[in-house]
Structure 1
């Protein structure tokens, strides 16, 4: 009898959590997504959630903030996240490091750097990159893609760290704005909505777009283990379909209207600020409409990393990227 009761109790302990999960998620499949940071730059993904596009695909996303590409990659490799959302350089480093467990990049959301250069003085109408000569800039941690992309832009304008300009790498990415406000450096790079809100508060002036100056690059992408993709192909396709619809919605909808669906994801940021941020990102054509990485942009990413001295060898596009699903779904979503 004791054995029977033990067996029943064990069975109940197993079945009750499963039932609870089914009820809580309304029968939707949970997909754990670890994002590199939380930003309006990634608005299409949040819009896809808010507008019910994931739900239409039978998916419920569980979003966590990794706070850096290395942490996102660790989450994917350890299995604590199903999908990682970060720069593809994280997977590139795993590949060139010789690992036999390299995640696959299966979709791309942003196609350029999303940061804006903020100055202490009002030079919006006259700013030239050569104005940075002899100045100090806060642009992120050394080896990070934001800092490497900024250095790439500087070098293209004959500005070199330690020679005729100073790159300050001493401040953590999430502390740069507060350090700048406290008096560190002459310029600082900021993402939206921080850049617009900083300017609105009269603390500084947005003078340039780093992404516009650097050209197209696969800045943030979706990454998963090949084993996860193989076992969950329909889910991966549905995931891409939902986000692609989100991109389409954001691109084709007035920003003040789209902002209404994003306020829940940015507590403390009002609709007007979100709308302004969306306009800023639309202006520089931020999102990859078909979510398909190109070889040209992949090569430019490697150029940027190589230029910063952080790439020991180059990789082949096919070793890291799968464009099969995104290409097919793009045709579905746009009726091509």
Structure 2
């Protein structure tokens, strides 16, 4: 055989072997279906960043991102194991632990939004100044299945407020309901209200009761079977999210751009500089709550504080949503994987973020 043919033969063998190895690597990756409680919005920037920056792939994960209409529609999919990891509010899980209720075999494994992401927004010229003023008023919520509804009911009961809650969706439909004064107040999450402001509508946020404002919001949950059988998959997922959170803190603009690359139809038109500045503002409305760690202490990504769970249960009880006053909140979450979430070089991620070119 000639030297040329010998080299060509070797090259073809190497190419075929490389292709085979790539195919095996792809086949070896674990497919994960992630369910958000709304359509994917800028509040989900770290999730998209983890995907586009390759952090999920580094953990051997192939993550599909899906949106649902509230916790009430997400949970059945998780119970059927069609969705592997979800991002709901905790109240539904706590309520399922009450005596006589069917215990949902779902558990939190990562605390993502570490303080409340829910707000009450009114038009800037509204006469309403506090939650007590909502007596007899109409409150717009995304859907009656949204995870904030039980806590909102609890807050109203706490204050003796009798208000009517109506579903208005999210985005433009919800914004129109407020601006047309079909509703008196909009009870959605932070990023939605920041979006409304970015579109030019002046709004005010009514002060929350301190006990409810301090409650954590969404976190990552999985079926108890998955936590038992595939802890390394969940550890890798959480570590990828922690990396993305560090990256986005160091370069928020880059992360917003990454989101728009994944979901180009969500990027508004207009002046690029203003669009980006507004995008960062909307993203930061939720993202800052992901960084609500105790001051002066090392960050423990994904960690839960048992006291906050007890406070959550007590708030639901006093609001008339939960009976009795205490339930087994320890059964709602696990901190077992927390040490693995922080098992990466944060300084390296920061350097990557600062040097990142889109």
Q: Please give the range of the TM-score, normalised by the shorter of the 2 chains.
A: 0.7 to 0.9
Q: 1:88/1:116 Cα in 2 relative to 1: closer, same or farther (>3 Å)?
A: closer
Q: For this pair of structures, how many residues does the alignment match? A: 308
Distance 1:40 1:186 in 2: 25
Q: 2:93 touches 2:104 (CA, 8 Å); kept in 1?
A: no
Q: 1:28 touches 1:59 (CA, 8 Å); kept in 2?
A: yes
Shift of 1:148: 3.7
Q: 1:304/1:334 Cα in 2 relative to 1: closer, same or farther (>3 Å)?
A: farther
**Counterpart residue number, 2:352:** none
Q: 1:28/1:110 Cα in 2 relative to 1: closer, same or farther (>3 Å)?
A: same
Q: 2:36 touches 2:68 (CA, 8 Å); kept in 1?
A: yes
Shift of 1:282: 4.6
**Counterpart residue number, 2:283:** 278
**Counterpart residue number, 1:293:** 304
Q: 1:213/1:129 Cα in 2 relative to 1: closer, same or farther (>3 Å)?
A: farther
Q: 1:115 touches 1:209 (CA, 8 Å); kept in 2?
A: no
Q: How does 1:298-309 map to 2 (within 5 A)?
A: 298-309=309-320
Q: 1:277/1:200 Cα in 2 relative to 1: closer, same or farther (>3 Å)?
A: closer
**Is the aligned partner of 1:31 residue 2:32?**
yes
**Counterpart residue number, 1:104:** 107
Q: 1:282/1:141 Cα in 2 relative to 1: closer, same or farther (>3 Å)?
A: closer
Distance 2:221 2:244 in 1: 18
SS of alignment partner, residue 248 of structure 1: helix
Q: How does 1:55-70 map to 2 (within 5 A)?
A: 55-70=57-72
Q: 1:35 touches 1:65 (CA, 8 Å); kept in 2?
A: yes
**Is the aligned partner of 1:317 residue 2:329?**
yes
Distance 1:75 1:22 in 2: 30
**Counterpart residue number, 1:205:** 203
Q: Which moved more, 1:22-31 or 1:263-272?
A: 22-31
Shift of 1:56: 0.8
Q: 1:221/1:55 Cα in 2 relative to 1: closer, same or farther (>3 Å)?
A: same
Residue segments in structure 2 that go unaligned for 5+ positions in a row: 1-19, 269-275, 294-298, 348-358
Q: 1:217 touches 1:301 (CA, 8 Å); kept in 2?
A: yes
Distance 2:308 2:103 in 1: 25
Distance 1:83 1:201 in 2: 32
Shift of 1:61: 0.5
Q: How does 1:31-50 map to 2 (within 5 A)?
A: 31-37=32-38, 38-50=40-52
Shift of 1:237: 0.9
Distance 1:209 1:246 in 2: 31
Q: 1:240 touches 1:329 (CA, 8 Å); kept in 2?
A: yes
**Counterpart residue number, 1:257:** 254
Distance 2:42 2:210 in 1: 17
Deviation string for 1:97-125 (max 9, x for gaps)? Answer: 554662222112112232343322358xx
Q: Which moved more, 1:213-222 or 1:49-58?
A: 213-222
Shift of 1:173: 4.0
SS of alignment partner, residue 111 of structure 2: strand
Q: 1:287/1:24 Cα in 2 relative to 1: closer, same or farther (>3 Å)?
A: farther
Q: Which moved more, 1:196-205 or 1:295-304?
A: 196-205
Distance 1:133 1:282 in 2: 32
TM-score, normalising length: structure 1: 0.76
Distance 1:32 1:24 in 2: 19
Q: 1:196/1:211 Cα in 2 relative to 1: closer, same or farther (>3 Å)?
A: farther
Q: 1:112 touches 1:286 (CA, 8 Å); kept in 2?
A: no
Shift of 1:260: 1.6
TM-score, normalising length: structure 2: 0.72
Distance 2:345 2:330 in 1: 25
**Counterpart residue number, 1:8:** none
**Counterpart residue number, 2:124:** 121
**Counterpart residue number, 1:161:** 161
Residue segments in structure 1 that go unaligned for 5+ positions in a row: 1-18
Shift of 1:127: 5.6
SS of alignment partner, residue 110 of structure 2: strand
Distance 1:177 1:24 in 2: 46
**Counterpart residue number, 1:84:** 86
Shift of 1:47: 1.8
